[in-house]
């Protein structure tokens, strides 16, 4: 399967059993990011804020994917949704692997919820803080889940040529600094191929507009 980071929390997952876009953002809703025009079999959104729910930017193929999708109901904030509402975690099972997208997770998970995420093959986790869990919280959450591959999302970049994200979000470096250096794999592009033999890592995908 192939995972493509489209910026912010938006990913395209292409598998032998179908394709899906997760959390597409609307035009102009995320500073520094180019408009999205994507194609997939399905769109999944963690919540209805416009930087995560722009279904209109995805052209659906009309094909019905055969992968399965599980959901976990969580909150966008640490006060049971009182500040920002609810959030849905999506777990996609395809090609004998499980891929989890945490959306804008802003709360602690219950023991039962953690059990459902235990040893997923891929964990896409927000790390920017403010609207979601912070870099430290993301690391604390991920470590005991033992995901094979961790992909950080929903952060701010101040790198020359790639300045994007809300000013209130933390930088990617806040997360990578609390990860074991030997786990970090930096990709020159925004895609990675994932098989059952892909080694464990924290995958840093590079935003590529267009």
Residue 161 lies in a domain: yes
- Whether 210 is covered by a domain: the verdict is no
175 domain-assigned: yes
Q: How does pLDDT run along the chain (210 residues), one tens digit per residue?
A: 999 999 999 999 999 999 999 999 999 999 999 999 999 999 999 999 999 999 999 999 999 999 999 999 999 989 989 999 899 999 999 999 999 999 999 999 999 999 999 999 999 999 999 999 999 999 999 999 999 999 999 999 987 667 899 999 999 999 999 999 999 999 999 999 999 999 999 999 999 887
pLDDT at 161: 66
Asked whether residue 135 is domain-assigned, the answer is yes
CATH number of the domain that residue 8 is part of? 3.60.15.10
pLDDT of residue 130: 95
What contacts 199, CB < 8 A, 6 or more positions away? none
- Beta pairing, strands 18-22 & 42-44: parallel
**What range does the domain containing 197 cover?**
2-204
| 209 domain-assigned | no
Residue 195 within any structural domain of the chain: yes
d(C-alpha 131, C-alpha 140), whole Å: 17
CB neighbour list of residue 124: distance below 8 Å, 6 or more residues apart:
9, 11, 22, 99, 100, 101, 102, 151, 153
Counted domains in the chain: 1
Determine the pLDDT at residue 158: 84
Q: Phi first, then psi: give them for residue 20, nearest 5 degrees.
A: -150, 140
Counted residue by residue, the chain has a size of 210
179 inside domain: yes
Reading the block at residue 38, the tokens are: 């994507």
Does 164 fall in a domain? yes
């Amino acid at each position: 399967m192939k995972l493509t980071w489209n910026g912010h929390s938006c990913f395209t997952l292409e598998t032998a059993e179908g394709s899906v876009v997760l959390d597409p953002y609307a035009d102009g809703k995320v500073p520094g990011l180019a408009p999205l025009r994507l194609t997939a079999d399905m769109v999944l959104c963690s919540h209805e804020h416009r930087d995560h729910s722009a279904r209109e930017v995805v052209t659906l193929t009309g094909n019905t994917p055969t992968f399965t999708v599980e959901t976990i109901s969580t909150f966008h904030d640490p006060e049971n949704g009182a500040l920002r509402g609810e959030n849905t975690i999506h777990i996609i099972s395809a090609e004998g692997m499980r891929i989890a997208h945490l959306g804008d997770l802003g709360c602690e998970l219950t023991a039962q919820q953690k059990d459902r995420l235990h040893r997923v093959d891929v964990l896409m986790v927000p790390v920017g803080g403010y609207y979601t869990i912070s870099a430290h919280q993301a690391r604390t959450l991920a470590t005991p889940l033992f995901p094979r591959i961790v992909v950080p999302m929903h952060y701010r970049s101040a790198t020359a040529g790639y300045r994007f994200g809300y000013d209130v979000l933390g930088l990617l470096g806040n997360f990578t600094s609390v990860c074991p250096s030997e786990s970090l794999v930096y990709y020159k592009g925004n895609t990675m191929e994932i098989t059952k033999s892909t080694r464990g890592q924290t995958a840093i995908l590079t935003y590529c507009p267009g």
